[in-house]
Structure 1
Amino acid sequence: MMFIIYYGFTEIYFKFNGPKYKPLEVQVQSNDGDVDKIIDLDDILEGVTILRPIKGIDPELEICLESSILQKYPSEKLQIIFCVENSQDPAIPIIEKLIKRYNHLDVELLIDESYEDNHFGPNPKINNLAKGYKMAKFDIIWVLDSNVFVNPGTLLRSIINLQKSIDNGRETFNFDTGKGNKIKIMHHVPLAVSINNSNTLGNLGARLDEMFLFTSHAKFYVFFNKASIAPCVNGKSNIYRKSDLDSSVMEISKGQIPLINNRESIAKAASTFVKTPGEGIRFFSRYIGEDNMIGIALWNDPNNGGRTGMTGDVVIQPIGGSTNNGLPFHYTNKIMDYVNRRVRWLRVRKYMVLAATLVEPTTESLLIGVFGTYGLSNLFFQGQYKKTIMFLHELIWCITDYTQFKILLKFANQDKLHDNQTISPYFINDHIEEKYKLINWLPIWILREILALPIWIMAMCGTEIDWRNRPFKIRTDLCAEEL
């Protein structure tokens, strides 16, 4: 486990420790085989449709949505679709304002006209996305949650890496020899930034979310991508091809993909979504963890299977109190808000990746520290120096997390493709020096470490999941049942 942790930390240290690069041109082999030539990116980039599912007003919604419009990408190869599930959604005025501001670009709003006609399963995100997926005019899809901010060069770097099968600067597939695995999903490390830097009770949940994503989650998320032993995909920001996903759903309908197709009814359900092009994503509305299931489907497709890839980019979710559009919105984020979120997703993972969920407590510093202290003390020191070993273990772990936190926070918004028109969000820049201070950072880190095991126990003792104010239950076939 320590190897895994420092594998992830090392990858972050070398691949995320600097401003995001500026790919203005690409060097390729010329036809004569001897001389390289430089070609413009516009000549090789494929078209992309950005899909943003929206429900209600999240903190700093306008800034987050606008960041996808301001991507440094050829405008004629970019389509942006905002998906809303009903005409009364309070986010619609903000979306319409953005569409009016950027009326020279291909930006549109799609609203479900009928709940019944657009309800394919219990997952509201997929139900909301389905209409945009079908209306997308490009094969490459970028599913980007409404509550995250992205840097202006994220899409450009991601498409280059997707087309060339490059993961954090390393080729995963040799197009000349056919060896290796092609990248089927580009994804980005999800981070959360607390807008309010205080450690008050009303904001502790936001600070804990921030700490979890910057430290424990980031290490393991980056490790699993690099090790490429299984798909590990968070749904905040995923880029893949419609044609690949539709192909995977076709294979599911034939019973060719394990883990998903563990019942005959699953294959039958998938078969209803392969008759019409552009409907493949609807199959995944039966799952709460649709991001992981889509990752499994693309990973295990016997015809087009591949792996995941990263670019050193992150997506940033502002959380806590904020203002939107000049109007005050107060988002309390208490300790139990954080606890409930962690419990919810642990329960989802309990059914989807049981083995990984069962060993998760050993990924946290306190429990693995107890194991390691007992083992080292008895193997090498006749049962002595337990307190010293435990102290040194926690000290090294803390220094590692503090270093990683500073790296990710410092470079989260540093992109060489920033210009005067690009947003530089205050919620990242304003509190950096305060967040760096050990006196502010350490208490939150200690509290998060202490809460890790109790949260896991709570998750293991229950089955009900509350998601967007709706109760669900995960069945043994991994499908969600709305209660």
Structure 2
Amino acid sequence: MTNSIAENDSAQDQGRHRILLVGLSIVVLIWYIAMWSVGLLGCWTARKRYRSRPNPTPSLVPTTLPSSAPGVSILRPLKGLDANLSENLESSFKQDYPNFEILLSVADEHDKALPIVHGLLEKYPNVNARVIIGEEQVGVNPKVNNLMRSYNEAAHDILWVLDSNVAVVPGALARAVDILSRPSSHPNPSWRRIALVHHVPFAISSRATFGARLEEAFLNTNHAKMYIAVNAAAVDSCVMGKSNLFRRSDLERLDGSLVRQQYHDSRQGLGLAMFARFLAEDNMIGLALWHELDLRHDLSYDVAYNALGDMRFSDYVWRRVRWIRVRKPITLVATSLEPFTESVMLGAIVATTMRYLIGMPIQLFLPVHFLLWTLVDLDVYASLAGYSLPSSKRWSFLVAWLVRELLAFPIWILGIIGNEVEWRGRRYKVLQNGEAERVPM
């Protein structure tokens, strides 16, 4: 009888164990379907948004009087000689828009970018552009410090902050202003005004360095797909600071309640200065506009062409690590779940689950999984680029894509276990509330 009871208990334990495994398997499959839904949403939205860019409103083209279009101040923070710097900056001078100014900011009067800037000022004497030399120390973020004088001296309320390693097409400003200026009197009472327009970065790798190829494969496929999908779903703010258009008047309305800090001191004021204590000032600006003012964001119909230059393999790795460590305290849940959104980790888990549930061989599931994942990523690439991946670079790109996928989890581990980052020759410690402090090199 004792043996019978023991066998019965063992059977019950096995039954509970199987129920638990089946339950976990169902959760895994639901997550897998959700990740595919997100990926397909990003792919579909990229097709819809970038394969047929609309013309801007007639009042925003140069044929009209400048006074009829909202004024825009283009702020370009500069430091050193970024890749394709002249072409990047020149794209601002070529904007098909009737009412804008360009403020080019450098912290140091000996900055190597200045000769290029002066050359463009001579080449385009009819463009309202000027150089602002000198920074204001309002926090730890060097980009914000560099922008403060331009921010305060800008003639217009609409500001377009555009990184120095980014170029845009001539119609990008007009289309972005079109989105930002959509009327607030919307028939849907739950509709929220758009306070920020941003651009998906599209990497341009003019060099054959492996790090640049990895960055190109990442930004132009998986990153773009997820970035577009999250913004299409619009469940929360998701902003990257390569190219952001917003109103200074909106920033001045923020009081810092989002991060529960007091900003009313002599060192840090409101507006842009409030975000100088964060390295991810772009992310924090987007979150503050979204949550403090209950406003929303939208993606433009254009991309921001990000010139990569000579990026070594180690540069790529530590760039990704920096992103993870900076984002970690701000979006802890999303950062923690990140490995389970990647093709390798997700594919391995689901392949094991399918073998347990229905006996599907792993060697059958994984090739289909990776083939479909690759096709979706390449479709996103084609939508952003305006053309399919050229045959001349197809194999090198696919190799870089595969290496990027395989490196995603090890890099995530490296990012999670530390809190120090290096940015433009300076070292910082990212604090638990998302702020940063300088660390001696």
Normalising by the smaller structure, the TM-score range is 0.7 to 0.9
In structure 2, what residue type is equivalent to 1:307? R
User: Cα distance 1:41–1:103, how it changes in 2: closer, same or farther (>3 A)?
Assistant: closer
In structure 2, what residue type is equivalent to 1:180? W
Structure 1, 94-103 or 135-144: larger mean CA deviation = 94-103
Any idea what SS the aligned residue of 2:229 has?
A: helix
Map 1:51-450; keep pairs closer than 5 Å.
Answer: 51-74=75-98, 77-112=99-134, 118-164=136-182, 174-176=185-187, 178-196=189-207, 198=208, 203-248=209-254, 251-252=255-256, 257-258=257-258, 260-261=259-260, 266-269=261-264, 280-301=271-292, 304-320=293-309, 331=310, 333-379=311-357, 381=358, 383-410=359-386, 432-435=390-393, 437=394, 439-450=395-406
Deviation at 1:177, TM superposition (A): 5.3
Any idea what SS the aligned residue of 1:399 has?
A: helix
Any idea what SS the aligned residue of 1:286 has?
A: coil
Which residue in 2 is equivalent to 1:13?
47
Aligned-partner Cα distance in 1 for 2:93–2:411: 38
Aligned-partner Cα distance in 2 for 1:26–1:132: 27
User: Cα distance 1:42–1:100, how it changes in 2: closer, same or farther (>3 A)?
Assistant: closer
Aligned-partner Cα distance in 2 for 1:9–1:219: 6
Any idea what SS the aligned residue of 1:151 has?
A: coil
In structure 1, what residue type is equivalent to 2:335? T
Deviation at 1:103, TM superposition (A): 1.8
Q: Which runs of 4+ in 1 moved over 6 A?
A: none
User: Cα distance 1:41–1:460, how it changes in 2: closer, same or farther (>3 A)?
Assistant: farther
Deviation at 1:175, TM superposition (A): 2.6
Paired residue total: 403
The TM-score with structure 1 as length reference comes to: 0.79
Given that residues 57 and 90 in structure 1 are in contact (C-alpha distance below 8 angstroms), is that contact kept between their aligned partners in structure 2?
A: yes
Deviation at 1:386, TM superposition (A): 2.0
The TM-score with structure 2 as length reference comes to: 0.87
Aligned-partner Cα distance in 2 for 1:290–1:452: 24
Aligned-partner Cα distance in 2 for 1:177–1:364: 37
User: Cα distance 1:374–1:158, how it changes in 2: closer, same or farther (>3 A)?
Assistant: same
Given that residues 273 and 280 in structure 1 are in contact (C-alpha distance below 8 angstroms), is that contact kept between their aligned partners in structure 2?
A: no
1:301-334 residue CA offsets vs partner (Å, 9 max, x unmatched)? 2xx42111112210011122xxxxxxxxxx3x22
Aligned-partner Cα distance in 1 for 2:113–2:267: 33
Given that residues 138 and 268 in structure 2 are in contact (C-alpha distance below 8 angstroms), is that contact kept between their aligned partners in structure 1?
A: no
In structure 2, what residue type is equivalent to 1:480? A
Given that residues 59 and 68 in structure 2 are in contact (C-alpha distance below 8 angstroms), is that contact kept between their aligned partners in structure 1?
A: no
Given that residues 410 and 432 in structure 1 are in contact (C-alpha distance below 8 angstroms), is that contact kept between their aligned partners in structure 2?
A: no
Structure whose residues are more often helix by fraction: 2
Deviation at 1:432, TM superposition (A): 4.6
Given that residues 138 and 267 in structure 2 are in contact (C-alpha distance below 8 angstroms), is that contact kept between their aligned partners in structure 1?
A: no
User: Cα distance 1:358–1:480, how it changes in 2: closer, same or farther (>3 A)?
Assistant: same
1:270-309 residue CA offsets vs partner (Å, 9 max, x unmatched)? 78655xxxx61111111000000111111112xx421111
Any idea what SS the aligned residue of 2:95 has?
A: coil
In structure 1, what residue type is equivalent to 2:123? R
1:415-453 residue CA offsets vs partner (Å, 9 max, x unmatched)? xxxxxxxxxxxxxxxx95523x3x232211111111111
The runs of 5 or more residues in structure 1 that have no matched partner are 28-38, 166-172, 321-330, 413-430
Any idea what SS the aligned residue of 1:229 has?
A: coil
Which residue in 1 is equivalent to 2:423?
467
Deviation at 1:3, TM superposition (A): 1.3
User: Cα distance 1:245–1:443, how it changes in 2: closer, same or farther (>3 A)?
Assistant: same
Aligned-partner Cα distance in 2 for 1:23–1:457: 44
Aligned-partner Cα distance in 1 for 2:249–2:372: 46
Given that residues 61 and 147 in structure 1 are in contact (C-alpha distance below 8 angstroms), is that contact kept between their aligned partners in structure 2?
A: yes
The runs of 5 or more residues in structure 2 that have no matched partner are 1-34
Aligned-partner Cα distance in 2 for 1:215–1:134: 37
Aligned-partner Cα distance in 2 for 1:44–1:388: 61
User: Cα distance 1:402–1:175, how it changes in 2: closer, same or farther (>3 A)?
Assistant: closer
Identity fraction in percent:
37
User: Cα distance 1:376–1:13, how it changes in 2: closer, same or farther (>3 A)?
Assistant: farther
In structure 2, what residue type is equivalent to 1:88? H
In structure 2, what residue type is equivalent to 1:297? A
Aligned-partner Cα distance in 1 for 2:213–2:42: 22
In structure 2, what residue type is equivalent to 1:21? P
1:385-435 residue CA offsets vs partner (Å, 9 max, x unmatched)? 2221111111111111122223322359xxxxxxxxxxxxxxxxxx95523
Given that residues 25 and 41 in structure 1 are in contact (C-alpha distance below 8 angstroms), is that contact kept between their aligned partners in structure 2?
A: no
Given that residues 270 and 283 in structure 1 are in contact (C-alpha distance below 8 angstroms), is that contact kept between their aligned partners in structure 2?
A: no
User: Cα distance 1:370–1:159, how it changes in 2: closer, same or farther (>3 A)?
Assistant: same
